[in-house]
Amino acid sequence: DAKTTQPTSMDCAEGRAANLPCNHSTISGNEYVYWYRQIHSQGPQYIIHGLKNNETNEMASLIITEDRKSSTLILPHATLRDTAVYYCIVRRGSEKLVFGKGTKLTVNP
Amino acid sequence: DTEVTQTPKHLVMGMTNKKSLKCEQHMGHRAMYWYKQKAKKPPELMFVYSYEKLSINESVPSRFSPECPNSSLLNLHLHALQPEDSALYLCASSHYLHNGQGIDGYTFGSGTRLTVV
């Protein structure tokens, strides 16, 4: 599975959009981009995934560039409860879900 | 039921003790996992069970012994642990996609915080 690069940490004001970038320049054609988050002392939580089209669900939007080498997770109206570590993972349908270091997002009041 | 339940939530054990962590899911998922997470680090995969059979062991020391007695239960037996084994132990499950397209729908439990003294 391809590796990803994410900023170590980001800050966002409550009520504003949080835009979390992820680089995956070696992604192959059949690999999906997944986003998970982990709130302190809880298990990771699935957020969203996509192949090449932009995706939106009740939690977030995922924007994937046309060349698929990078993506952005958007939390449209961040709340204090969105403070967490966000993991961008690129994978095929293999068994392993491997976590990188992720981005520590802090939402400030 | 869309949850993975782990018990206990907290466990303190001595280096000579034997204890077990338990994980349960009723989503019909046929793949189950154990992850270990040290403080301020990402979760690391330990074991994968596929249809109740061990399919991946990520070179985990034998003092950790997994068991999958049925499709809903996953145990992790602990014996002669070291203080450095203190960590959050996460269980997860997922389902197999149709037409052999792989695995999806990972769902994690809240973990067992283990302290070895």
What string of DSSP letters covers B16-63? Answer: T-EEEEEEEE-S---EEEEEEE-TTS--EEEEEEETTEEEEE-S--TT
The predicted model gives A68-86 an average pLDDT of 97
pLDDT at B22: 98
Mean pLDDT (whole number) for B15-42: 96
Task: Give the rounded percent of residues in chain A with a pLDDT score beyond 70.
Answer: 97
Across chain B, mean pLDDT equals 94
> How wide is the angle at C-alpha A14 spanned by C-alphas A35 and A7, nearest 5°?
40
β-strand pairing of A70-75 with A61-64? antiparallel
Burial class (CB in 10 A: 0-12, 13-18, 19+), B83: exposed
What residues of A are in the B interface, CB distance below 8 Å?
36, 38, 41-46, 85, 87, 92-102
CB B32 within 8 A of CB B93: yes
Residues sharing a CB contact under 8 Å with residue A33, sequence separation 6 or more, in sequence order: A22, A24, A27, A49, A50, A51, A62, A64, A68, A71, A88, A89, A90
Instruction: Give residue A2's pLDDT band: very low, low, confident or very high (50, 70, 90).
Output: low
Q: What are the tens digits of pLDDT across the range A24-64?
A: 999 988 899 999 999 998 999 999 999 998 999 999 999 99
A26-30, A101-105, B60-64: lowest mean pLDDT where? A26-30
The answer for residues whose C-beta is within 8 angstroms of residue B20's C-beta and 6 or more apart is B75, B76, B77, B78
Q: What residues of A are in contact with residue B104 (Cβ under 8 Å)?
A: 93
Is residue A23 over pLDDT 70?
A: yes
* Cross-chain residue pair B108–A93, CB shorter than 8 Å: no
- Residue B98, pLDDT > 70, answer yes
- Provide the residue type at B41 as one letter: K
Q: Once rounded to an integer, what is the mean pLDDT over residues A66-75?
A: 97
Assigned token pair, A48: 């969203």
Q: Cα–Cα distance between A80 and A55 in angstroms, integer?
A: 24
CA nearest to B90 within chain A? A43
- Output the average pLDDT for chain A: 94
Residue A20: closest CA among A79, A66, A60: A60
Which letter, b or e, does each residue of A24-53 get, where b requires 16 or more Cβ atoms within 10 Å of its Cβ? beebeeebbbbbbbbeeeebbebbbbbeee
pLDDT at residue B103, as a whole number = 81
Cross-chain residue pair B56–A95, CB shorter than 8 Å: yes
Average pLDDT estimate for B97-109: 83
Residue B85, SS3? helix
Q: How many CA atoms lie within 13 A of B74 on its CB side?
A: 34
